[in-house]
Amino acid sequence: MGASDFSKLPHIGEPVKRKEDYRFLTGAGQYTDDIALAAQAHAVFVRSPHAHARVRSVSTDAAKAAPGVIGVLTGADVAADKINGLPCGWLITSTNGEPMKEPPHPILALDTVRYVGDQVAMVVAETLEQARDAAELVEVDYDPLPAVVLVADAAAGSVPGAVVHDIAPDNHCYKWAIGDKAAVDAVFAGAAHIAQLDLVNNRLVPNAMEPRAAIGSYSRANDEYTLYVANQNPHVERLLMTAFVMGLPEHKVRVIAPDVGGGFGSKIFLYAEDVCLTWGARKLNRSIKWTADRSESFLTDAHGRDHVSHAEMAMDASGKFLAMRVHTDANLGAYLSTFASAVPTILYATLLAGQYATPQVYVEVDAWFTHTAPVDAYRGAGRPEATYLLERLVSRCAWQLNLSQAEIRRRNFVTSFPYQTPVALQYDVGDYGACMDKAEALADVAGFAARRADSEARGLRRGLGYSSYIEACGLAPSNIAGALGARAGLFECGEVRVHPTGSVTVFTGSHSHGQGHETTFAQVVAARLGIPVENVDIVHGDTGRVPFGMGTYGSRSISVGGAAIMKALDKIEAKAKKIAAHLMEASDADIDFAGGEFTVRGTDKKIPFAQIALTAYVPHNYPLDKLEPGLNETAFYDPTNFTFPAGTYICEVEVDPATGVVRVDRFSAVDDFGTIINPMIVEGQVHGGVAQGIGQALLENCVYDRETGQLLTGSFMDYAMPRADDFPEFKLGTVCTPCTHNPLGTKGCGEAGAIGSPPAVINAVLDALHPLGVRDLDMPASPHRVWSAIDAAATS
Ligand code: MCN
């Protein structure tokens, strides 16, 4: 079935209420911490208070003798049991001829700690309180060493002795570049205009509502491990843990990710605690539970962003983009986390062409180790960093050439598809002008001048900010990922099991942790089979039940996981048609299937889907020599390209120059997600993403002390999260150009809001402050920063 026929089916485009919400809203969800295994013990991790120190000794005697303690495990035990470090650098290699440095990442530190929160020992006791008390008794003798926390200091080598890993004495992990440097330099040499920009993409803490949690258990009877874990991709977690870390046969480990209370990227990775609990369960012969407290989450969940960049755009006299040149320093933190090497490279540099037909783009990335928590994917992962840089630069081009923010964008939009960018990607389809038209109408741009005058009359400044984003979703086609240096592509698997009564259970390798897959995937199946949505259940998050999976991130689930299910449904339909042909004594080729009924073309013969299902399992009078019983099919789907959601966001702010307080007055977002399965769920995704993006732009900032490496923003008292009263009612709209290469026509929607919104907000603040001489501002645009920028402009 083609994407265009699919989009016309019943249930597609309907705002079906989320099936999963009943259990979430009635407190019946089952999160990892809700699970209590028989005789389960509790773990507490002893963590480094230093950003960098030699570990002289770890004494566990007093802790082991404390009441209720079952065991205390340290780096020495890890080494004795030959447990490897976490795998790193799974996704990219250097491009400068030097291999990427891949230092070991021990699951418990042996002789060196490399960031505040690095785990040194695991204390296991009968109760959580006993484990906490005993953890206080573990004596670690540290020899503190100098620490480096900023990429600028790492790159300059300005902190003597602050070497994170011996294999990278200059703290440089890799260099990666894309584009034709010589061609770009030549264009710059003759350009009529050049705009330049230095900017920082601020470091963020993910702060999912449910902290990380896991329970390791081991059955001696079957020699099998089970790990319950708040994780976004259980099969990959299992693969990495068995193949790389513990050296176990994969079938002996079951990973279950039950209800998960948000991940936003931070629960994709294999964390050290997960391995400690799995290994510890066998070693101590007890099931062991650990749930991070909020302070541990701040310290040890992989952080996001943290880029420092210089960007330049070369233009002709009319403002047409000719070439772009970017250099970015990326902070990787103390270790290479699972996807960390892909974020500032494949997921960032390749998106820097944006929506524009810039003929030449060259991007160079240097990635650095520092004594901070590992940095990895956080909602958008590389694409918000690309969009922020590009959209800030484009608005700067507009101001430099005295064009409007809309005009510079319209002059440079890609208008014909497919479009090959100079940085590897090929956009299949889009209509960027239509998104901007609709966004300008929603934002009432025509009425802005009057609103600005009104603000000025009240002593306030008002600004309008544009951001036209594009992102690559549906990670990741193996062919493209491989060509860019990735060591693995990311397909997806789906199994459709039709029961004899005609109801259906679907097993998907995607994982839902807030995105509503139990509803939208059921809509897809119900639409295809012509059955009620209630007759379809979606199973996910369990390696013991789902054949295989690559998990959920990169807004891939509907376009890759959903497409795998569609492939399995194709097979179901083909087999069902054979059964129908047999029952109606017709040829397979004459059978049509629509609206839940099989018909013989040109006759009035018909059979409902449920009858075919029953026949498949009750095969009397059935040609068993030609068809096996049962109606159960599995498919793997590897996309041929990314999907490219795109849109224009327009933000309107009012700034009080006396206090520096920024108020978002209006926010309009128009997105092209191709075919939309469930508009209510999609709106919710955009709302959440925009809230996170505005949070980054105005409030959130993860700060380490530059000398000591202590996390200064380690609680909600110091790290400002956005709240509902920070936002206006968002105005949302859509444009639909269906994706051309997946059978649903969908493009991902889960990250768009977080990608498109930060530059729209900052461009709006800069637009408001332009008359006061402010030309530059880094995120978050806190009152202090805004006030200082106004003050500095007034006194310069
Ligand atoms: N959808 C749709 N029509 C489309 C596109 C999507 O109806 N054209 C629906 C999908 O069927 C799905 C939802 O929208 O129910 C999101 O789909 P998709 O864009 O495929 O994204 P994923 O399901 O792969 O989710 C991942 C994405 C990412 S990468 C982050 S980060 C993120 C996000 O989703 N983390 C979230 N949204 C989140 N929402 C919640 N509540 N919690 C998180 O941790």
Q: Which range (90-94, 225-229, 749-753) has the least confidence?
A: 90-94
Q: For residue range 153-171, what is the model confidence (pLDDT) as tens digits? A: 999 999 999 999 999 999 9
Contact in structure between 744 and 558 (CB atoms under 8 Å):
yes
| pLDDT of res. 89 | 67
Q: Is residue 621 predicted with pLDDT exceeding 80?
A: no
What one-character-per-residue DSSP string does 638-656 give? Answer: --SS-B--EEEEEEEEEEE
Q: Where are the alpha helices (DSSP H) in 190-306?
A: 234-239, 272-284, 294-300
Q: Is residue 407 predicted with pLDDT exceeding 90?
A: yes
- Per the prediction, the chain carries an average pLDDT of 96
| Distances 645 to 435, 469, 554 between C-alpha atoms, Å | 11, 8, 12
pLDDT average, residue stretch 659-683: 98
| pLDDT of res. 46 | 98
Q: Is 678 in the pocket of ligand 1 (CB under 6 A)?
A: yes
Q: Is 674 in the pocket of ligand 1 (CB under 6 A)?
A: yes
CA dihedral 478, 479, 483, 484 (to 10 degrees): -40
Q: For residue range 336-372, what is the model confidence (pLDDT) as tens digits? A: 998 999 999 999 999 999 999 999 999 999 999 999 9
The Cα–Cα gap between 550 and 564 comes to 12
Atom number of ligand 1 nearest to Cα 744: 8
Q: For residue range 524-573, what is the model confidence (pLDDT) as tens digits? A: 999 999 999 999 999 999 999 999 999 999 999 999 999 999 999 999 99
Nearest to 263, CA basis, from 562, 557, 682: 557
Contact in structure between 221 and 171 (CB atoms under 8 Å):
no
pLDDT-derived band at 94 (thresholds 50, 70, 90) equals confident
Q: What share of the chain is helix, strand, coil (3-state, %, to 5)?
A: 30, 25, 45
CA dihedral 158, 161, 167, 170 (to 10 degrees): 10
φ, ψ of residue 55 to 5 degrees: the values are -95, 110
Q: Strand 606-608's sheet: what is its strand order?
A: 591-594, 597-600, 606-608
Task: Cis check for the bond before 780: say yes or no (omega within 30 of 0).
Answer: yes
Q: Is 387 in the pocket of ligand 1 (CB under 6 A)?
A: no
pLDDT-derived band at 330 (thresholds 50, 70, 90) equals very high
| pLDDT of res. 4 | 86
Domains annotated for the chain, with CATH where assigned, are 3-29+491-637 (3.30.365.10), 38-145+211-260+267-299 (3.90.1170.50), 307-476+641-795 (3.30.365.10)
Nearest to 363, CA basis, from 315, 413, 415, 424: 424
The pTM for the full model equals: 0.97
Q: What angle do CA 354, 360, 366 make, to 5 degrees?
A: 75
pLDDT-derived band at 297 (thresholds 50, 70, 90) equals very high
Q: How far is the CA of 749 from the centre of ligand 1 (A)?
A: 6
The Cα–Cα gap between 459 and 312 comes to 35
Atom number of ligand 1 nearest to Cα 556: 24
Q: Is residue 714 predicted with pLDDT exceeding 70?
A: yes
| Beta strands in 453-605, from DSSP E residues, in sequence order | 461-470, 492-498, 504-508, 536-540, 591-594, 597-600
Q: Is 511 in the pocket of ligand 1 (CB under 6 A)?
A: no
Nearest to 31, CA basis, from 210, 207, 206, 208: 210
| pLDDT of res. 589 | 95
Q: Is residue 241 predicted with pLDDT exceeding 80?
A: yes
Q: Is 681 in the pocket of ligand 1 (CB under 6 A)?
A: yes
Atom number of ligand 1 nearest to Cα 681: 14
pLDDT average, residue stretch 501-513: 97
| ipTM score for this prediction | 1.00
Q: Is 283 in the pocket of ligand 1 (CB under 6 A)?
A: no
Determine which residue's CA is closest to atom 30 belonging to ligand 1: 264
Q: Is residue 625 predicted with pLDDT exceeding 90?
A: no
Q: How far is the CA of 671 from the centre of ligand 1 (A)?
A: 14
φ, ψ of residue 486 to 5 degrees: the values are -70, 150
The Cα–Cα gap between 129 and 150 comes to 37
What percent of the chain has pLDDT above 70?
99
Q: Is 383 in the pocket of ligand 1 (CB under 6 A)?
A: no
Q: Is residue 90 predicted with pLDDT exceeding 80?
A: no
Q: Is 264 in the pocket of ligand 1 (CB under 6 A)?
A: yes
Q: How far is the CA of 690 from the centre of ligand 1 (A)?
A: 13
| pLDDT of res. 15 | 98
pLDDT average, residue stretch 681-705: 98
Q: Is 753 in the pocket of ligand 1 (CB under 6 A)?
A: no
pLDDT-derived band at 14 (thresholds 50, 70, 90) equals very high
Q: How far is the CA of 744 from the centre of ligand 1 (A)?
A: 15
Q: Is 668 in the pocket of ligand 1 (CB under 6 A)?
A: no
Q: Is residue 619 predicted with pLDDT exceeding 90?
A: no
What percent of the chain has pLDDT above 90?
95
Which of 212, 558, 676 to mutate for ligand 1's pocket (most ligand atoms within 8 Å of CB)?
558
Count of alpha carbons within 13 angstroms of residue 336, beta-carbon side: 26
Which of 685, 686, 735 to mutate for ligand 1's pocket (most ligand atoms within 8 Å of CB)?
685
Nearest to 295, CA basis, from 792, 788, 596, 714: 714
Tokens of 470: 């594009």
| pLDDT of res. 133 | 98
Q: How far is the CA of 74 from the centre of ligand 1 (A)?
A: 39
Residues in the chain: 796
The Cα–Cα gap between 254 and 278 comes to 10
Nearest to 763, CA basis, from 459, 483, 404: 404
Q: Is residue 624 predicted with pLDDT exceeding 70?
A: no
Q: For residue range 643-669, what is the model confidence (pLDDT) as tens digits? A: 999 999 999 999 999 999 999 999 999
Nearest to 786, CA basis, from 658, 651, 696: 658
Return the SS3 of 239.
Answer: helix
